[in-house]
Homo-oligomer: A and B are copies of this chain.
Amino acid sequence: MYAPGDVRVEDRQDPTILEPTDAIIRLTATCICGSDLWPYRGVEPVDHTAMGHEYVGIVEEIGDAVQTVKVGDFVVGSFVLSDNTCEICRAGFQSRCEHAEFASGMQAEKARIPLADGTLVATPGQPDADLIPSLLAASDVLGTGWFAAVAAETGPGKTVAVVGDGAVGLMAILAAKQLGAERIIAMSRHPERQKLARFYGATDIVEERGDEGVARIKELTGGLGAHSVVEAVGTQESFMQAVGATRGGGHLGYVGVNYDVQIPGIQLFFAGIHTLGGPAPVRRFLPNLIQLIWDRAIDPGKVFDLTLPIEEAAEGYRAMDERRATKVLLTF
């Protein structure tokens, strides 16, 4: 991305092993993230940046220290690189690893993956082609939606409200269903996404937003609010809607906020709720998610509603920016 709105596909030098813990992978597919739209729209700075942080592919080369993946393995990796051995990783917060780095430049044919042992997980074998989109989703959007649902303490007997019908919100619905939630309320106004929300497990749809949306959630929950709320939009309005929709003592999971969000302390205080947010520790969930995909128990790949060859990446960005596509898969 040369500048906001200016995406170009060009030849770059092949990556090489720099550290003994590196791996080089040839990507099978990559994609465009909702968060890539922030620089695209000029909300975050960007200047000739190699884009992309979601990836699946085949290991082509490994550094001397790499032990858990080998050349030829098909691998999925988290959008946050982690050593997976430090105290924070062992507590399940690999996105806050002492050596954490954000993956970048993954919208490319090849990539260097630092901390390969702590970041990559090999699939049980070479995947069928139809599993590729789902495995790619696990790299960020599924892992992030899953974390949001876990952070909101989704589970049996719980009513879950999901604010946002983007790819992450839809994946949180999928996760809530897998985690056994009794009732899943999708907050969505978009007919196509409502359909997908129901496909993934939503039992109710709420179209209202802001205070009206909160009132509607209360109405549906005996005046109490939802046990578990996922915030998957990241604006001031959506965050406070999520706070208001959570019952006293309930749990709010959030997985992205805009730079201008300011949470009034007193409002959060009197809500009396648990919160957990942050970049998702996708690595914690990858082995389980890969297995669920491998067993065809879940189908997260359906969030990709446009597939383009990487040469047409610029059109992919435009389609997401104009909301003509929820999420764009790029092939080679």
Partner of A264, one of B88, B92, B262: B262
Residues of B within 8 A of A247 (CB): 88, 96
Q: Counting CB contacts under 8 A, is A257 at the interface?
A: yes
Q: How far is the CB of A282 from chain B (nearest CB, A)?
A: 13
Partner of A277, one of B96, B239, B272: B272
Instruction: Tell me the nearest residue of chain B to A95, going by C-beta.
Output: B272
A98/B269 contact (C-beta < 8 A), A275-B274, A276-B274 known: no
Docked complex: A236-288 residues within 8 A CB-CB of B: 236, 239, 247-249, 254, 256-259, 261-266, 268-279, 281
A265/B265 contact (C-beta < 8 A), A87-B224, A247-B88, A277-B272 known: no
Q: Are A268 and B263 in contact (CB under 8 A)?
A: yes
Residues of B within 8 A of A91 (CB): 249
Distance of A316 Cα from B264 Cα, bound (Å): 32
Q: Are A249 and B279 in contact (CB under 8 A)?
A: no
A270/B279 contact (C-beta < 8 A), A92-B249, A223-B98, A249-B92 known: yes
Q: Counting CB contacts under 8 A, is A200 at the interface?
A: no
Residues of B within 8 A of A95 (CB): 248, 272
Report how many copies the assembly holds: 2
Instruction: Tell me the nearest residue of chain B to A223, going by C-beta.
Output: B98
Partner of A263, one of B249, B254, B262: B262
Partner of A98, one of B224, B265, B268, B274: B224
Q: How far is the CB of A35 from chain B (nearest CB, A)?
A: 12
Partner of A272, one of B98, B263, B279: B279
Residues of B within 8 A of A88 (CB): 224, 247-249
Q: Counting CB contacts under 8 A, is A93 at the interface?
A: yes
Residues of B within 8 A of A279 (CB): 269-270, 272
A247, A254, A262, A277: residue with the most chain B Cβ atoms closer than 10 Å? A277
Q: Are B274 and A274 in contact (CB under 8 A)?
A: yes
Residues of B within 8 A of A266 (CB): 257-259, 261
Q: Are A257 and B249 in contact (CB under 8 A)?
A: no
Residues of B within 8 A of A276 (CB): 273-275
Distance of A243 Cα from B254 Cα, bound (Å): 16
Distance of A276 Cα from B98 Cα, bound (Å): 25
Partner of A96, one of B87, B248, B268: B248
Distance of A31 Cα from B265 Cα, bound (Å): 27
Q: How far is the CB of A176 from chain B (nearest CB, A)?
A: 19
Instruction: Tell me the nearest residue of chain B to A249, going by C-beta.
Output: B93
Pick 11 A–B contacts, CB within 8 A, sort by A.
Answer: A87-B224, A91-B249, A258-B266, A259-B266, A261-B266, A262-B265, A263-B268, A268-B277, A269-B279, A274-B276, A275-B276
The 10 closest A-B pairs by CB, nearest first: A96-B248, A272-B278, A261-B265, A93-B249, A257-B265, A263-B263, A262-B262, A96-B272, A93-B248, A274-B276
4 more CB-based (< 8 A) A-B contacts, given A96-B249, A273-B278:
A95-B248, A248-B278, A269-B277, A270-B279
